[in-house]
Structure 1
Amino acid sequence: MNMSGLCEKSFAVATKFSNFYGGGDVVWSENGERIYCLNNTEVSAINVSTGQLVRAYGTTVEVVENDLTPANKIEGNEDDQLEDEIPCFSLSPDNTLLVTAHRSGLLRLWSVESGKVVKLWKGQHKGPIVKVQFSTCGKIICSSGADSSLRIWDYVHSTCMCALREFSGPALVLAFHPDIKRKEVYAAGADNTIYCWNYAEKRLLRQMRGHLSQVTAITFLGGENGCDYLASVSRDKVLIVWRLADATQHKVIPMFEELEGVACLVKNNNSPDVLNVVVSCASGALKLVDCKTSKLTTLTEDTSQEFRQLLHCKRSEQLAVITVEQNILIYEATDESVAANKLECAKQLIGFNDEILDICFWGENDRFLAVASNSKNIKIYDTEANMNCKIASGHNDTVMTLSAAGGTNLLLSAGKDLSICLWRVNPNTFTLNCVARNNSSHTSTIGCIAFGCNTAAFFASVSQDGSLKVWNLKKNKDAPHSFNLKYSALSHDKEVNSVSFSPNNKLLATASQDKTAKLWSADSNALVGTLRGHTRGVWCVRFSPADQVVLTSSSDCTLRLWSLATLTCIKRFEQECTVLRAEFIDYGKYVVSAASDGLLKLWSIKTNECVQTLDAHTDRIWSLAISTRSGKCFYSGGADSKLIQWQDVTTVCRNDEIEKRAELVQQEQTLQSLLHQKKNLKKAFMLALKLSKPKTTYNILSDYVRERNTEPVRELINALNSDQRVTLMEHTKAWTTNSRHCKIANLVLHYLLSDCIAAPTEHGVPGMRNVVEVLTPYLQRHHKRVNELTKELMFLEFIVNGI
């Protein structure tokens, strides 16, 4: 078999991490397996263990029939509905239904399993809906509107049970009493008061006043049966325990900082004096509150993140905290950890990455992946533990660049705060520590930083002020590490975008917006040479790991390979837009480039051709990270906040192509055998359609027509499925353009059109209208030619009869 033309190199998406939380409501499923997050126009369901998106609700408005409701019809522009923003949502207690409120005023009830809408109705609020909540039984929904009203919905019977207006709204906190028999709904109004209604009797039962600022969360204390006490937290820095029987304050506990969430950890005990309550503080701490002694205990270490919401999953015994930066921190909250007054962060889910500026592999065997986004924090993913994430805080402004020393656990970071930080990770405990720091390394934003090749003894940094600095990294007895400036040079006239060391660490290269790349001695600030040729700024420069060449990428939409011996351009690769990043891959045989249009291109250095174009990003791709462990995968990150892992699937693609070729050869042999034996022509006709052989299908049909037997032709066409009819129609188009084949084409077209008219839904061919429009001029010409021939034959018959 001919092996030419097989796939040379191919990559495919292995995993994709994108934004799944844009702020707003977050709900934890009862079993602890999923977390549902609000993400602008959709609700994202996230698998807690893997951090992967399971399903998104809101991207479709398909309505299905079920026992809850007859089929509902959605009217209006479909594009408008797809962009209908979701301000809030709620999950049913049994995790089977999900209700979303939309900016248009609609309420949609979704099936969690199928992802389809099972109910749709108008909210009837005079303004947007700001909060929705399922009841404890799961059959009632409460919606809170900006018009300072609550509406209680019985969605099973499609009725609004009541409208509650006796409060100052809107209510941003809603909760139903855990006891189903009590039929009570609680709401925290804009006047810092907690209201309680009996929605069955439609009357206000009690008002609880005591907070001086917005109430941020409430929780019921005790088991499901009873719950005679309520705990509320507010931004007035106070925790209040309420006695529900008379709406009085049982205990007021000052917290001395703003509170954002509250959760009760003890189950099935109705006495508030033996309960422990955990609160989330805006300063970034979880605190345990002893309701009897008012003792406060800090349970977490300083995370340098501001906390917002607090969720508690009783089944998994875990707490989830949502931060201002849309990250979700999950803590183990077992009885033992609470008793020890220390909660360990088991997992961190990154809900919003913002613009990813740089990524790099880190640690032994490239186990960790460091990500610098538009933030002062660095995100570290453990690729061997389901991409579990840790957040490193140490910079005071946006981190712009990262670099890791091969084979070590050291990482360098730098950015807009003009400082360089050195990090060390403990792979056993996955803990991060900043072991060295230089706060005045440059006078302007540090655009790129790079360790020496396979060494942590020295590194280089470049800045927007055009300077290049080479540093020695030393270990001292007093301090673990320290930075010593080896030399400094004004490398370019404009800002420097990239710096890289050669494989032997004797040279380093810089790339700048002044349209040049320069080669420098790594030991001194001596300029070795200048690479000129780009017509716009150069974004990236890299040394080949195998050859004496340098790779540059530029805003002039080209990549260039330069010879180190002659400092001349020896190869040039052209793209459609600015090439922001380029890296060698597969031991220098290929180059992968990232462009501003969101496309990745894989180039073969040997053939100077683009082997593959990878399209998964929707915005500029700023960074690439190539794994040196196996060379079989790499990551890309860009302005669309997507972090994508690409896996080498060359072997799989080649095997698939070989199997397809072998199958194709076998099918062609079978076809030739059937045609030679002239047996089972129906099977031969089907096989010819599958192999897309117009000449063979024409010969089979013409044999029937030559015998003046068109009934088998009708039977063959009637036995075709939709795909086969499309293929036959394509063949008919080709036949119609030739007068020698038009007879068979007209016959086939007659049967196809007859079936379409008789049963348009069953035998309809996609694009039939366009096909008919294309074929009409040819058919008219053939008809005119046949008429002329008929006239000539009639004239000839007249002459013969007259002799």
Structure 2
Amino acid sequence: MALSPSETDLVVITASLSIRIYPMPSLYDDVSIKPIQPSRHIPKAHDAPVHVAVIDATSSFLATGSADGVVKVWDLRRGYATHAFKGHGGVISCLCFYVYPGSQGAPRVILATGSVDTRIRLFDLAQSNIRSGITKPIMILDGHVSVPRGLAFSKDGNTLLTAGRDSVVLVWKMDELVNLGGKKGKKMATPALVKTIPVSEAVESLGVVEPTAPLLEMASSNSLLFYIAGEKGHVHIWDALQAKRLVSLGLPQGSFSKDSQEIQSIQEAQYCQSASTIVSLHADQNITFHSLQSLKISRHLIGFNDEIVDAALLSSNTLQDTHLALATNSSLLRIYPTSSEHGINCSLLAGHLDTILALDSSVDGRLLASVSKDTFLRIWAPIEGIDDRWDCIGIGEGHSESVGAVSMFKSSTTSSRFIVTGSQDRTIKLWDLSDVDLVVKGEQPRKLSSLVTQKAHDKDVNSIDISPNDKLLATGSQDKTAKIFEINLAKSRASLKHVGTLRGHKRGIWNVKFSSFEKVIATASGDKSVKLWTLEDFSCVKTFEGHTNSVLRVNFVNQGQQLLTTASDGLLKLWNIPKETCVTTMDNHEDKVWALAVTRDEKTVITAAADSVVTFWEDSTEIEKEQAAAEKEKAHEIMMQLNQHIISRDYKSAIFLSISTNQPRRLYELFKTVYASRDVATYTDDVTGELREVPVATNVTGSTDVDEVIRTLPLVELAKLLRHIRDWNATARTSAMAQVVLHAIVKLRPASDIQAAFGPNLAKADDEAHGQGNEQLSKRAAEAESLRDVIDALIPYTERHLARTDRLVQDSYVLDFLLREMDPVGLEDEGMEIDVY
């Protein structure tokens, strides 16, 4: 991928070897959801995958280098190849353009290439092209012993910087290149290597930067400043004349272990001169913006969160939860703003040396505690004067194995501040926070003191929670038990007294949580259940079952009347505690949901899972109540209007209203009522002498007005009516009326109208008339039923109803026969024979 310096074209090269050139929209244009179509498409640009691409300063030429050692130059506007340079000794590893002002006004375009044969080649585009067949370089620079990865010319073109994975930067003097003529057969120039700068890391990117005020204070006069970025994950600014590193940009040195350096390494870095910023792309798919004005990180964009194992809400000097802290499969702590106004910017907090396992925040959301596999506890607080930045203020060291559970004090009224941690070493520690400042003032993190160390379980401690009044401590372990301790905070005689054990789970306990309103505690276990225990006698009072896998997190909401649970099945469930029933199940994850956080007002629930997805759930109870009330009121109004239309015999308005508001039941009742009130004629049956009624054949539906409505019904409404008929016909109770209306449609409308009612253009016009967007229109078009689908659904049910009617008619004749045979009149005519003795 490459962006032109004029910011008008974006070049995208895919694995299918094709090049697509997209016009870049202006930042001042209105935002459009329509996809951008490429202005140029080159189907097969190379015979091998393209590894590097670059556009010259005039935004006229595109150079691409492939794995087969071929470099091609393309006319960006016309989309054809102008040059093809072969002869490289392997994969092309870097490219760089430089445009020299020509002596006669025509600029000279120089292309520098680097490949895995460690050589740098320079080509003059004016001397060679595809037609001339000249592809030899005008210079070959041989000085690296490993793959070169970065090329950069100085602003005047007199100096070329090259860097590679051999951990050196070479400075070449290009005076001969400036004076080199373009005549054919000119002897190849020999550049001068003037300096070799060891940089102590494999370099993946290099570029020349313009000096800013902070850099000028450190650099020499008339210095050439350049940046390098590579395997150690930092951007370094160097002075080429002094061969001196001026500053390193990025996270603090030693902020991650050697095992995680590989994923923190920089794969690409670009210099944005207008913003005085260097943008680096890291192997863990994160993008970092380094400001050359402040010499600090100005922004982080996270491309991949990896497996999220815990989350905690923070507050920056307000009563609202303004930030979300995430612990991922990384040693870096990530803090996101919860408001969309701040975009997707993220702060990365370095300090831990291994994966962070658990988080917890203080009552006011100002303090954050994190524990990690590196056995350390760290306390984070807002930086003084900067409300949206946190830094480390305290470090707790003492556990011998990974620390996987942490809980901070919960009461805002107590003067004592403390924290409890649980570890794989089966112990829990009580730490004193009373001497720790609540803001960062630029001092070194304070070392925390442990008041109590106590063995709590026979296996790993998975979870810890402190009661709302800071009097009790609950621990959950892999040994299938949860334990309750009484907290004594006296410094001289601080203690954790064991007062109860909760037994009953069949698997390890993953989470424990105190209720803020009742004297109960909830435990979530690997046995797929959640249990509620009373703190009076530590007995189980309720059990909630419904998850299909281990329950990982639990929390109380709605004044302790409901429970929220997450599990390895990727589901979030809401439970009604008094009824012991699941109220609703929410699904938006594809893997274990490790993190569950609830805002202070309980209007938003946040879940984060191993699928690296963070989901925000909003409480929709009031909204659903309002919607239900509004729908009920609307239905009442429709019913009133419908009744008024029927009373006034305005059948046209009644039918239109029923169809437009999707009221098939009201529409059916309307047709049924009209058909029952149809005009009939009476006659005497010649056989039985009974009076019989037959409908007058002046209409089909029982009303001439209704027949006229069906005759003139618009095509869109006609299609909807046929779908309703299909549904009515599927039930024996409503099939008779469905056949009557269907008979009316077939008799009163031509076949062309019925076919046109299901045309795609008509459905599209209907959607546009109702203001449907493109996405919703496409969805409706995909779900739209054809006339064939409706007919295929009508035929089998109609045949079934016909067969049933035939059987009923036949059965009625049997009944007539039986009644005739039982007729007493026939017996009297035959008389009786009486014997007289």
Instruction: Report TM bin, short chain.
Output: 0.7 to 0.9
Cα displacement (A) at 1:502: 0.9
Preserved contact between residue 461 and residue 468 of structure 1 (Cα < 8 Å): yes
Change (3 A) 1:553 1:256: same
Residue 505 (str. 1) matches residue 465 (str. 2) = no
Change (3 A) 1:278 1:782: same
Residue 625 (str. 1) matches residue 597 (str. 2) = yes
Decide which of 727, 733, 739 is 1:742's aligned counterpart.
739
Secondary structure of the structure 1 residue equivalent to 2:146:
coil
Greater relative contact order, per chain length (Cα 8 Å cut-off, separation 6+) = 1
Preserved contact between residue 462 and residue 499 of structure 1 (Cα < 8 Å): yes
Decide which of 20, 45, 65 is 1:144's aligned counterpart.
65
Residue 201 (str. 1) matches residue 129 (str. 2) = yes
Q: How does 1:322-337 map to 2 (within 5 A)?
A: 322-334=281-293, 337=294
For residues 734 and 233 of structure 2, the distance between their equivalents in structure 1, rounded to whole angstroms, comes to 74
Change (3 A) 1:641 1:713: same
The TM-score with structure 1 as length reference comes to 0.76
Cα displacement (A) at 1:541: 0.6
Decide which of 262, 265, 278 is 2:227's aligned counterpart.
278
Residue of structure 1 equivalent to 2:796? 777
Residue of structure 2 equivalent to 1:706? 702
Residue identity in the other structure for 1:475? D
For residues 9 and 727 of structure 2, the distance between their equivalents in structure 1, rounded to whole angstroms, comes to 47
Preserved contact between residue 301 and residue 344 of structure 2 (Cα < 8 Å): no
Secondary structure of the structure 2 residue equivalent to 1:376:
coil
Change (3 A) 1:187 1:701: farther
Residue of structure 2 equivalent to 1:563? 534
Residue of structure 1 equivalent to 2:667? 697
For residues 751 and 730 of structure 2, the distance between their equivalents in structure 1, rounded to whole angstroms, comes to 14
Residue of structure 2 equivalent to 1:640? 611
For residues 689 and 591 of structure 1, the distance between their equivalents in structure 2, rounded to whole angstroms, comes to 43
Secondary structure of the structure 2 residue equivalent to 1:675:
helix
CA offsets, 1:240-260, max 9 Å, x none? 344243572464351432233
Secondary structure of the structure 1 residue equivalent to 2:717:
coil
Residue of structure 2 equivalent to 1:359? 311
Change (3 A) 1:374 1:480: closer
Residue of structure 1 equivalent to 2:380? 423
Cα displacement (A) at 1:545: 0.8
Residue of structure 2 equivalent to 1:369? 324
Residue of structure 1 equivalent to 2:582? 610
Decide which of 498, 502, 506 is 1:527's aligned counterpart.
498
Change (3 A) 1:746 1:554: farther
Change (3 A) 1:284 1:744: closer
Q: How does 1:156-171 map to 2 (within 5 A)?
A: 159-171=80-92
CA offsets, 1:76-131, max 9 Å, x none? xxxxxxxxxxxxx2334454543433334344445655434435553253443323
Residue of structure 1 equivalent to 2:112? 186
Cα displacement (A) at 1:426: 1.2
Cα displacement (A) at 1:313: 1.7
Cα displacement (A) at 1:355: 0.9
Secondary structure of the structure 1 residue equivalent to 2:701:
helix
For residues 393 and 808 of structure 2, the distance between their equivalents in structure 1, rounded to whole angstroms, comes to 95
Decide which of 413, 434, 441 is 2:370's aligned counterpart.
413
Residue of structure 1 equivalent to 2:333? 378
Q: How does 1:106-117 map to 2 (within 5 A)?
A: 106-110=18-22, 114-117=34-37
CA offsets, 1:552-593, max 9 Å, x none? 112222222222123233333323322211112344343222
Residue identity in the other structure for 2:543? R
Preserved contact between residue 10 and residue 23 of structure 2 (Cα < 8 Å): yes
Residue 440 (str. 1) matches residue 391 (str. 2) = no
Change (3 A) 1:687 1:711: closer
Preserved contact between residue 513 and residue 523 of structure 2 (Cα < 8 Å): yes
Q: How does 1:212-361 map to 2 (within 5 A)?
A: 212-222=145-155, 227=157, 229-242=159-172, 243=174, 244-245=177-178, 248-249=191-192, 251-258=194-201, 259-266=203-210, 275-280=224-229, 282-298=231-247, 300=249, 302-303=252-253, 304=255, 306-334=265-293, 337=294, 343-361=295-313
Change (3 A) 1:186 1:663: farther
Residue of structure 1 equivalent to 2:679? none
Residue identity in the other structure for 2:515? S
Residue of structure 2 equivalent to 1:70? none
For residues 602 and 95 of structure 1, the distance between their equivalents in structure 2, rounded to whole angstroms, comes to 50
Residue identity in the other structure for 1:660? E
Q: How does 1:10-25 map to 2 (within 5 A)?
A: none
Preserved contact between residue 320 and residue 331 of structure 1 (Cα < 8 Å): yes
Residue identity in the other structure for 2:197? P
Q: Which segment is superposed worse, 720-729 or 169-178?
A: 720-729
Residue identity in the other structure for 2:547? E
Preserved contact between residue 698 and residue 744 of structure 1 (Cα < 8 Å): no
CA offsets, 1:23-56, max 9 Å, x none? xxxxxxxxxxxxxxxxxxxxxxxxxxxxxxxxxx
Cα displacement (A) at 1:209: 2.8
Preserved contact between residue 394 and residue 436 of structure 2 (Cα < 8 Å): no
Matched-pair identity in %: 27
Cα displacement (A) at 1:747: 4.8
Cα displacement (A) at 1:766: 1.7
Residue of structure 2 equivalent to 1:12? none
The TM-score with structure 2 as length reference comes to 0.73
Preserved contact between residue 473 and residue 482 of structure 1 (Cα < 8 Å): no
Residue identity in the other structure for 1:237? S
CA offsets, 1:364-413, max 9 Å, x none? 44444322111122223355755643322222221111223323743322
Preserved contact between residue 675 and residue 684 of structure 1 (Cα < 8 Å): yes
Q: How does 1:720-731 map to 2 (within 5 A)?
A: 720=717, 726=723, 729-731=726-728
For residues 724 and 109 of structure 1, the distance between their equivalents in structure 2, rounded to whole angstroms, comes to 49
For residues 8 and 717 of structure 2, the distance between their equivalents in structure 1, rounded to whole angstroms, comes to 42
For residues 444 and 752 of structure 1, the distance between their equivalents in structure 2, rounded to whole angstroms, comes to 83
Residue of structure 1 equivalent to 2:435? 475
For residues 554 and 509 of structure 1, the distance between their equivalents in structure 2, rounded to whole angstroms, comes to 14
Secondary structure of the structure 2 residue equivalent to 1:697:
helix
Cα displacement (A) at 1:549: 1.0
Preserved contact between residue 446 and residue 461 of structure 1 (Cα < 8 Å): yes
Q: Which segment is superposed worse, 173-182 or 632-641?
A: 173-182
For residues 50 and 445 of structure 2, the distance between their equivalents in structure 1, rounded to whole angstroms, comes to 56
Residue identity in the other structure for 1:321? S
Secondary structure of the structure 1 residue equivalent to 2:659:
helix
Gaps of 5+ in 1: 1-88, 338-342, 794-803
For residues 439 and 95 of structure 1, the distance between their equivalents in structure 2, rounded to whole angstroms, comes to 51
Cα displacement (A) at 1:220: 3.6
CA offsets, 1:714-762, max 9 Å, x none? 4315242876765565455458962454232455589698556457434
For residues 750 and 160 of structure 2, the distance between their equivalents in structure 1, rounded to whole angstroms, comes to 72
Preserved contact between residue 519 and residue 536 of structure 2 (Cα < 8 Å): yes
For residues 144 and 214 of structure 1, the distance between their equivalents in structure 2, rounded to whole angstroms, comes to 14
CA offsets, 1:411-455, max 9 Å, x none? 3222222222333331523555444334432x3322211122236
Superposition RMSD in Å = 3.8
Larger Rg over CA atoms: 2
Residue identity in the other structure for 1:403? D
Q: Which segment is superposed worse, 372-381 or 230-239?
A: 230-239
Cα displacement (A) at 1:771: 4.3
CA offsets, 1:245-286, max 9 Å, x none? 357246435143223333333399xxx955432333544444
Residue identity in the other structure for 1:381? Y
Cα displacement (A) at 1:495: 2.1
Preserved contact between residue 468 and residue 514 of structure 2 (Cα < 8 Å): yes
Secondary structure of the structure 1 residue equivalent to 2:346:
strand
For residues 667 and 125 of structure 1, the distance between their equivalents in structure 2, rounded to whole angstroms, comes to 66
CA offsets, 1:738-793, max 9 Å, x none? 24542324555896985564574346852655544443321223455688999999
Paired residue total: 689
